[in-house]
Amino acid sequence: MKTKEESEKFFLISYIVIAAFLLLIIRLWQLQVLQGNKYRKLSEANRLRIITIPAPRGIIYDRNGIPLVKNSSYNCASVIPGEFDRGKAETLARFLRVPADEIINKLNVKDLSPFVPVRLKEGLSFNELAYIESRRSDFPGMIIEADISREYIYGDLGAHLVGYLGKLTPSQTEDAAFDDVPLDAFIGQWGVEKLLDKSLRGIPGKRIIEVDALGRELRLLQEKSPVKGEDVTLSLDINLQKEAERAFGERAGALVAINPKNGEILGMISKPSFDPNLFTKRISHKDWTSLTHDMKNPMLNRALQSQYPPGSTFKIVTAIAGLEEGVITPETKIECHGGISYGRWHFGCWRKHGHGVISLHRAIVESCDVYFYEVGRRLGIDRIYNYAMKLGLGRKTGIELGTERKGLVPNTKWKMETKKLPWFLGETFNTSIGQGYVTATPLQMAVLTGVIVNGGDLFKPTLIKGAKPIISGKVKIRPETLEIINTGLTGVVNESSGTGWAAKSPTTQIGGKTGTAQVVASRYFSQRFRDHAWFIAFAPVEKPEIALSVFVEHGGHGGAAAAPIARRAIEAYLNEKSRDFKDLNVQSRSQTNKEF
């Protein structure tokens, strides 16, 4: 092998390597052991801040493009848990004027990210903002965050339909469907806001910022811009809403207007209403209790959640069934002496002196009860039941808006099952004129009106303008029958003896039917003895564009209480429509006429 000299060469190399290693070790010792504390502090000064940038929510428009909501920004005071000294929580609480335990609870949430700000006070006023900004250095880790809040321009007008936003409920935070929603975010909790929440919501952006120990922002590490939610145009007409609202005044009740050609909801009123703006900045306990404990129940959407006997409006069903089943013809004459007797009971007509000998047309126009007792007797309850069901009563309309009630249409089978009693003829009399067991929601009555004027298409009501119409059922009614009914309903409003004279409009010809639902005497609510008033209507009669139902709680007689509301809603809607293509003269004339 090679010489000693050769071996020495290799040992020299080894020594050089070892010496170099010693150099590295000395340097490591210097950095990690001698200066370790200094560098540890520097590493703690390296901090991140993750800020979510809220996505503007989609705007909700009425059918004419008028915005019903708007987004406005507001400021909140927040702290970044990783940068905030919890020992200062109480001082900060006093400074922000919020309860100390509220702040402490918020910061004690499990799995809290040290980088994501926690909101302590929302909706700061300008003065508060300036004050906090000036004292920020006293509370390292406190920042001002901007967020977007929802404002409902028309307040309680159509609140049940547009809905409102709220924070995630405890059950929603567990739900995987809301995983991508920040804990602090507001989401749709009611109405259209809830129904279309996914598309209205948008996608929040985020910003990851490097900051130093004093919370000064050093540089942006990552940024994702928010994506605005999609706008939506409702089928709702805000002018109709406004006018109907005014017409209702302080009375409780509901109005539903639909387009009979496609099922679009043109208007929906439920009175009393509530102000959805109360919810957008975390509703206070006091406001919530007063809303939910109010005897008048403003949170109830009466348009689809309250059901009442439809009264004489139901006579339309009885008449259609009679004509279609052939138990009467338009010429069939029946004599009304102001009532009939059946066994021990007396069934009266609303006009005590009677109508004399009348045919179907006058029976509808003047709403003769005795005529329909007789039609009902000839039909029997089960045939009335069949037609009522076909026309959409007794089942849900399928509107995608909270819990809808389905009303009730009785028959012999139903009575046997629930009351364990056979059916009495007297109950058929009651049902024929819409009293007794039969109940319906205002929404169902509006849909029913639509079916009669469009020739038999039962549309699923929709809230979105231009949505593809969904037909949930078709009723086969002979055109002659519909002709007779429509002529009758036109007479109700336009003939001198008609019960719905109060709905007569100078600008358009309206057809309709009054209804009065008797309120059973109750010991507890003696002050509420007055009957409920109904009115269903459509216009213009030759080519209907709007069908609606009005219900006034304890309103008294339908013709007096509900018919004027229907007229004003119809006029508001048709005038707005005509403004699009008619000249100014027509418009000004119609306005003068309205005052008449």
Partner 1 sequence: MFNLDRRLIKNFDWLTLIVVLAIAIIGIITIYSATRPLPLEEQSVFYIKQVFWLVFGIISLFLVSLFDYIWLSRLSIYFYIIGIILLIGVLILGSSGMGAQRWLSVGHFSFQPSEIFKLFYIIMLSQHLSSINGPLNTVSLLRIFLMIVLVPFSLLFKQPDLGTALIIFLLFVLLVIVKGLHKKVAILFVILSLISLPFFGSIFWEGLKDYQKSRIVAFMEPKEDLTGIGYHITQSKITVGSGGLIGKGYLEGTQGPFRFLPEKHTDFIFSVFAEEWGFLGSLLLLFLYLMIILRGVDTARTAKDEFGKFLALGITFMFSIYFFVNVGMTLGMMPVVGIPLPFMSYGGTALLSNLLAIGILINIRLRRFHLF
Which residues carry out catalysis?
312
Neighbour count for residue 216 (Cβ, 10 Å): 9
* Nearest residue (CB) to partner 1, 151 versus 212: 212
Please say which residue, 224 or 478, places its beta carbon nearer to partner 1.
224
State the nearest-atom distance from the C-beta of 38 to partner 1, in Å: 7
Q: Which is nearer to partner 1, 35 or 292 (CB)?
A: 35
Where would I find the beta strands (DSSP E) of 291-423? 334-336, 339-342, 345-348, 356-358
Locate 365 and state its tokens: 């126009």
Nearer to partner 1, 28 or 109 (CB): 28
User: How many residues are present in the chain?
Assistant: 596
Integer Cα distance of 432 and 316 in angstroms: 9
Separation in Å, CA 221 to CA 54, 57, 479: 18, 26, 71
Residues with Cβ within 8 Å of 481's Cβ and at least 6 positions away in sequence, in order, are 320, 323, 324
Per-residue tokens: 272: 């009393």
Return the number of the residue (2 or 420) whose C-beta is nearest partner 1: 2
Q: How far is the CB of 104 from partner 1 (least distance, A)?
A: 23
DSSP H helical ranges for 298-411:
302-305, 315-325, 360-365, 369-379, 381-390
Cis, peptide link before residue 170, omega less than 30° from 0? no
Distance separating alpha carbons of residues 484 and 118, to the nearest angstrom: 67
User: What is the torsional sign of CA 170, 173, 174, 177?
Assistant: positive
Burial of 175 (0-12, 13-18, 19+ CB in 10 A): exposed
Between CA 484 and CA 322 the distance in angstroms is 12
Using the minimum distance from each CB to partner 1, give the nearer residue, 55 or 161: 55
108 Cβ contact partners less than 8 Å away, ≥ 6 residues apart: none
- Minimum Å gap between C-beta 7 and partner 1 is 7
Burial (0-12, 13-18, 19+ Cβ within 10 Å), 596: exposed
Read off the DSSP letter of residue 333: -
**Binding stretches for partner 1 (CB under 8 A):** 7, 9-10, 13-14, 17-18, 20-21, 23-25, 27-29, 31-33, 35-40, 42-44, 46, 48, 50, 113, 115-116, 206, 208, 210, 219, 221
- In whole angstroms, what separates CA 163 from the centre of its chain? 4
**Residue recorded with tokens 């709680």:** 553
Backbone angles phi, psi at 487, to 5 degrees: -60, -40
Pick the closer one to partner 1 by CB: 130 or 218: 218
Distances from the Cα of 287 to the Cαs of 275, 281, 284, 295, 576, in angstroms? 10, 12, 5, 14, 36
Nearer to partner 1, 180 or 287 (CB): 180
CB of 12 to partner 1, least distance (A): 10
For residue 39, the minimal CB distance to partner 1 (Å) is 3
* Rounded Cα–Cα distance for residues 302 and 405 (Å): 10
Smallest separation, CB 54 to partner 1 (Å): 15
> Which structure tokens are listed for 71?
């987004």
Minimal distance, residue 31 CB to partner 1, in Å: 4
Shortest distance in whole angstroms from residue 25 CB to partner 1 = 6
Pick the closer one to partner 1 by CB: 39 or 345. 39
Question: Dihedrals φ, ψ of 433, to 5°?
Answer: -110, 20
Find out whether the peptide bond into 272 is cis, omega within 30 degrees of 0.
yes
C-beta separation of 550 from 562 below 8 A:
yes
